[in-house]
Amino acid sequence: MARSPRPAPALTLDSAATYLKGAGPFVAQRLRQLGIERVGELLLHLPTRYQDRRRTTPLSALNPGGEALIVAQVTGCELGYSPRRNLRVLVEADNRALLLRFFHFSEWQQRGFVAGLWVRAWGTVRHGAYGAEMIHPEYRLSESPDQLADGESWQPVYPTVAGLTQVRLRLLIGHALAVAADDPRLSEVLPGLGGPPTPAALRALHQPAAETEAAELLHPANPARLRLIREELLAHQLCMRLVRSRTRLQHAAHLPGVEQAAAVLQEHLPFVLTGAQRRVIGEIAGDLTSGRPMLRLVQGDVGCGKTLVAASAMLAAARAGRQALMMAPTELLAEQHARNLSRWLEPLNVTVGLLSGRLKAAARNAALAAAASGRIKIWVGTHALFQQQVAFQDLTLMVIDEQHRFGVAQRLALHEKARDGLAHQLIMSATPIPRTLAQTLYADLDVSVIDELPPGRRPVVTVALSNQRRSEVLERIGAACRTGRQAYWVCTLIEESEQLQAQAAEAAFRQLREELPELRVGLLHGRMKPAGKDVQMSAFAAGTTQLLVATTVIEVGVDVPNASIMVIENAERLGLAQLHQLRGRVGRGDRDSQCVLLYQLPLSAVARARLEVMRQTHDGFAIARRDLELRGPGELLGRRQTGLIGLKVADPLRDSPLIPSLQRLADDWLTHHPATARTLIRRWIGDAARYGQV
């Protein structure tokens, strides 16, 4: 695409990332998916791991499954057609051969592999049908091996989305580091924080020196990382303090009738609200009649019935002629909430509207009009709402589900959707953490706990099996599905790319369909088109498909009560919190449920302990405590961080010991260094001006 010439302004950290060389509209859109709009945000997008490219490996020393950097000579290049069209490049060094294979390649690439040229390639080594191979390695060609011999260093690997390569990200972040070097605000001294100055800390993590030890790189006690962790936690503490003091001064609508609304709902429900649900509804009722904006976090284990508690408050809003909105972190979940709310509220003549990013123009315009005119009172939406020009007539209550996916900044942005003053906020989290920790992490919120599950729930029987026993598991699933039960098969893959995850799920889907030919098997992953996801989800909910192969997209909130078996492949790769969330998808109906944790040997001691915890307990709070103990303060960062409150480097559970001293520091800064506080909030959270007058 032709790019229009751009002016070349002096770039700052606030400049749009699109001004960086190499960031055209396509790249900009991908960056936006990662939450990156400005140059400064690019800097805070940190690697989740590093590749050791400091030396090359001789072809004789390659280990299947490992990553390696090799230099070898091209001896041939041909097209293969099995399993599908692919480019096969044979290379040789020291009388050893290696195959480089490409499934996506251009003619230009194909012509480049001239026999006799030397190639330097980086990739994962596999044992293929023709011996050792690398699929889609990163590579560079040259006429002589000397030009390829120069050592590289640690290569950062960033979380990314399809269409945005690691090479491109590294390039852009390199540019951003150069901008940072010239920006005085980044070198501003931050009183009381210690550690290396910000620019040095950022450089140490993005472009580690070759001498750095592998173990240091990801360790949370690495001085550079620790510095950024403390910065980020401090920024959040500052922001929450400001929000809290500001909101407490504001007025919010007086909204009575929550308990009455719950009673009305109860009349139409096939079950009785639990005591804990009623207690929390009472706490919410108190908030909504206080005249001040509610800021309440409702914590409760998976399946405790948070949605219904929120529905009671939303119904009260509708009955008072006001609007209420429920936000979900995924489209899948938003649609499910819309279905549940409709089921509960439409018999009471209350219409539920869905505002999703995927509505077609006409439907979208109709929805926007109904929101703006106030014709529809109850709304469900996704975080796509943050970006959209949605206006409400009288938004009084916002419910945010599965809050660990939202940061304080996003919650604040939502406030702006309220017509005047502030809307009441109810935040629901299924990540059980001890109340005291919750109060420090969410210093701006009041906390309620639903500590009771609906009666009659039977614990999910959990077994851990080595995947050598996969065939037994298949037999059991086949037998169970024949008796009308349904099962999830969850594929886990720790990878930076959604695309690879999708491929793994597709492969598992094909294999399971062959292994269990009598079953109707469905497939669900994050890369599917929205319509495809809908079809799959409704087919499973309706019982049309019996076995649903899925990635961890189903982790959050999915509710299909008839599904009573879950198999988690490579369960050893997941953390406890994630395993617990996944397992919470079964055990929702009235029959016995099973969860099979399939693992791959060898198991590390921590992985073994985690599986043991899952076998022994179902209590989310107990699991969270064990998670903390098992992770210990010294554990390396997982590749996939389950950010609780939208943090970038800090992990609130692991880093919670740092919080008390940072809270004191926050108080000190607000009194003595308000301008610095503003700088830090702006760096880590965004536009400080919106978050209260510092």
Binding segment toward ligand ADP, per CB under 6 A, in 35-43, 270-278, 374-382, 564-572: 270-278
We find the least distance from the C-beta atom of residue 630 to ligand ADP, in angstroms, to be 24
Binding mask 372-411 for ligand ADP (x = CB under 6 A): ----------------------------------------
User: In terms of CB distance, is 71 or 302 closer to ligand ADP?
Assistant: 302
User: In terms of CB distance, is 561 or 674 closer to ligand ADP?
Assistant: 561
Q: Does 432 bind ligand ADP (CB under 6 A)?
A: no
Binding segment toward ligand ADP, per CB under 6 A, in 96-104, 232-240, 301-309, 436-444: 301-309
Interaction partner, residue 526 (Mg ion, ligand ADP, none; CB < 5-8 Å by kind): none
Neighbours of 672 (CB within 10 A): 11
We find the least distance from the C-beta atom of residue 428 to ligand ADP, in angstroms, to be 7
- Residue recorded with tokens 């692991």: 654
Binding segment toward ligand ADP, per CB under 6 A, in 11-19, 92-100, 295-303, 601-609: 295-303
* DSSP annotation of 459: P
User: In terms of CB distance, is 404 or 682 closer to ligand ADP?
Assistant: 404
In this structure, what are the phi and psi dihedrals at residue 576, rounded to the nearest 5 degrees? -65, -40
Neighbours of 562 (CB within 10 A): 17
Cis check: omega of the bond before 64, within 30 degrees of 0: no
By CB under 6 A, what part of segment 448-507 binds ligand ADP?
454
Q: What's the rounded Cα separation, in Å, for the pair 367 and 354? A: 8
| Given 432, 522, 557, 638, the residue binding Mg ion (CB under 5 A) | 557
For CA atoms 533, 537, 540, 542, give the dihedral sign.
negative
Q: Does 274 bind ligand ADP (CB under 6 A)?
A: yes
Q: Does 208 bind Mg ion (CB under 5 A)?
A: no
Interaction partner, residue 694 (Mg ion, ligand ADP, none; CB < 5-8 Å by kind): none
| Given 93, 173, 328, 430, the residue binding ligand ADP (CB under 6 A) | 430
Q: Does 305 bind Mg ion (CB under 5 A)?
A: no
Q: What's the rounded Cα separation, in Å, for the pair 157 and 170? A: 8
Using CB under 5 A as the binding criterion, the count of chain residues that bind Mg ion stands at 1
Binding segment toward Mg ion, per CB under 5 A, in 39-47, 376-384, 408-416, 556-564: 556-564
Residue count (the chain): 694
Binding segment toward ligand ADP, per CB under 6 A, in 73-81, 305-313, 488-496, 644-652: 305-313
3 state DSSP class of 449: strand
We find the least distance from the C-beta atom of residue 556 to ligand ADP, in angstroms, to be 9
We find the least distance from the C-beta atom of residue 559 to ligand ADP, in angstroms, to be 5
- Are the C-beta atoms of 490 and 551 separated by less than 8 Å? yes
Minimal CB distance residue for ligand ADP:
305
The string of DSSP letters for 491-547 reads -----S-HHHHHHHHHHHHHHHHHHSTTS-EEEE-TTS-HHHHHHHHHHHHTTS-SE
The pair of structure tokens assigned to 164 is 């945005």
Closest CA to 307 of 590, 604, 586, 559: 559
Contacts of 203 (CB under 8 A, 6+ apart): 177
* DSSP annotation of 164: -
Q: Does 300 bind Mg ion (CB under 5 A)?
A: no
Kind of pairing, strands 154-157 and 424-429?
A: unpaired
Binding segment toward ligand ADP, per CB under 6 A, in 136-144, 273-281, 593-601, 628-636: 273-281
Region for residue 563 given its phi and psi (left: phi exceeds 0; alpha: psi -120 to 50; beta: otherwise)? beta
User: In terms of CB distance, is 221 or 269 closer to ligand ADP?
Assistant: 269
Closest CA to 62 of 100, 118, 89: 100
How many angstroms separate the Cα of 642 from the Cα of each of 107, 162, 265, 272, 494?
41, 20, 35, 34, 13
Q: Does 526 bind ligand ADP (CB under 6 A)?
A: no
Using CB under 6 A as the binding criterion, the count of chain residues that bind ligand ADP stands at 19
The amino acid at 464: A
User: In terms of CB distance, is 230 or 337 closer to ligand ADP?
Assistant: 337
Q: What is the dihedral of CA 401, 163, 28, 652, to 10 degrees?
A: 40
User: In terms of CB distance, is 501 or 564 closer to ligand ADP?
Assistant: 564
We find the least distance from the C-beta atom of residue 311 to Mg ion, in angstroms, to be 11
Interaction partner, residue 422 (ligand ADP, Mg ion, none; CB < 5-8 Å by kind): none
Contacts of 644 (CB under 8 A, 6+ apart): 404, 431, 433, 441, 651, 652, 653
3 state DSSP class of 218: coil
We find the least distance from the C-beta atom of residue 267 to ligand ADP, in angstroms, to be 14
| Given 130, 174, 271, 590, the residue binding ligand ADP (CB under 6 A) | 271
Interaction partner, residue 181 (ligand ADP, Mg ion, none; CB < 5-8 Å by kind): none
Binding segment toward ligand ADP, per CB under 6 A, in 222-230, 304-312, 516-524, 613-621: 304-312
Q: What's the rounded Cα separation, in Å, for the pair 427 and 290? A: 18
Interaction partner, residue 175 (ligand ADP, Mg ion, none; CB < 5-8 Å by kind): none
| Given 37, 495, 515, 559, the residue binding ligand ADP (CB under 6 A) | 559
Site of interaction with ligand ADP (CB under 6 A): 271-274, 277, 300, 302-308, 430, 454, 557, 559, 561, 588
Site of interaction with Mg ion (CB under 5 A): 557
